[in-house]
Every structure is written in C-alpha cells, then in structure tokens.
Amino acid sequence: MSRAASLREKHDGALDDRGSVRLWLRLLTCTTVIEKRLKRRFADQYGVTLPRFDVMAALDRHPEGMTMGQLSQALLVSNGNVTGVVQVLVRDRYVSLAPSPTDGRSSVARLTQLGRECFAGLAEAHHEWIEAMLAGLDREERGQLHQLLGVLKDSLAAEGGEE
C-alpha cells in the first residue's frame, strides 16, 4: 500500500512565482516537517523535548563542561533560554552545574553519569530517525545537498544579520 501522499508545502500554490521565495518556502517546509517529527518522537518515546536534547548533545561533545554562554552560542539561542532548559536538566539529574574556578560570573554545566547514559540512547534513536527520513536521497544527492547548503550558509554569512 503505502500511498505516500506527497507533502503539502507551506503556502502551497502561491501565485508568487518568484523562485527565491519558492525555494525558501520549500527549505522551510522540509525543516519544519523533520523538526516536528523529531519533536513528537522524542516526546512520545522518551519524554524529552528537543531543546533538552540539544543541550545534552552539546554537553556530550564537551566532557570538560560548558558555560551558559558557550551553550547559548553553540545552540544559537538566547542566554535566558539556556538558563531555563539547563535548570530542568539539573532538576532531573542529567546535568550538574558548578561554579567556574576561573571566573566567578560563570558556572559550568556537565552531563552527569545518568545524563551520559540517557543521551546515548537518545542519540542512537535520533540518528536512526534522520537516516530513515533521508533514505530517499542517495549518496550523491546527499553530498550535493550538503554542498549547496554550504553555499547558502556562506551567502547568509555574507549578507550579514545587520550586526
């Protein structure tokens, strides 16, 4: 069976024939669909939110610990945001928070042993889900897509965020 109805696209059928906007909407739709599936599956199967997974993933790659500011930069979210997410991870014993020995203003977050163990399972599921969602692209297509997104990334860096 598996009719695999084609996905609706945000603002589908736009009269707006301008190619760049269409490209952007397609990019947005793909990302949104993947993100929502990940979110739902993490919630249903592990009782974890995406932001919490993101923090754990960042900490898992930095066993020496990360300050709140480093987390904020790594995850592209605000400082205040990190505060809240880390607080619940600390409450749930997945993350520990210790004052920085070198800078009294900073505290350093680390995964606890429990956090590391839990994260291993999450990362495994995450990888499988992504792999399955990208199954329709062969090796070459993945490489091309990765390369073109690199060009886009550079274009975005060049355009600048009016900073």
Partner DNA sequence: GTATGAAATTTCAAGCTTGAAATATCATAT
Partner DNA sequence: ATATGATATTTCAAGCTTGAAATTTCATAC
Contact set with DNA (CB under 7 A): 36, 40, 49-52, 67-70, 72, 76-86, 88, 100, 103-107
- The beta strands (E) that lie in the chain are given as 66-67, 95-99, 107-111
Q: Does 43 bind a second copy (CB under 8 A)?
A: no
Six-digit token pair at 83?
A: 């505060």
Q: Residue 98: which of a second copy, DNA, none does it interact with, CB under 5 to 8 A by kind?
A: none
Six-digit token pair at 65?
A: 């610990």
Piece in contact with a second copy (CB under 8 A), picked from 80-88, 91-99, 106-114, 148-156: 148-156
Rounded CA separation 38/142 (Å)? 20
Q: How far is the CB of 48 from a second copy (least distance, A)?
A: 16
* Region 124-143 residues binding a second copy, contact defined as CB under 8 A: 126-127, 130-137, 141-142
Rounded CA separation 105/124 (Å)? 35
Q: How far is the CB of 102 from DNA (least distance, A)?
A: 7
End-to-end CA distance of the chain: 52
Rounded CA separation 1/71 (Å)? 45
8 Å CB contact between 37 and 131: no
Q: Does 70 bind a second copy (CB under 8 A)?
A: no
Cβ closest to a second copy, residue 114 vs residue 156: 156
Site string for a second copy, 83-122 (x = CB under 8 A): ----------------------------------------
- Rg of the chain (C-alpha set): 19
Q: Residue 65: which of DNA, a second copy, none does it interact with, CB under 5 to 8 A by kind?
A: none
Q: Which residues pair with 111 in a beta bridge?
A: 95
Six-digit token pair at 134?
A: 């990208």
Piece in contact with a second copy (CB under 8 A), picked from 31-39, 84-92, 93-101, 108-116: 31-39
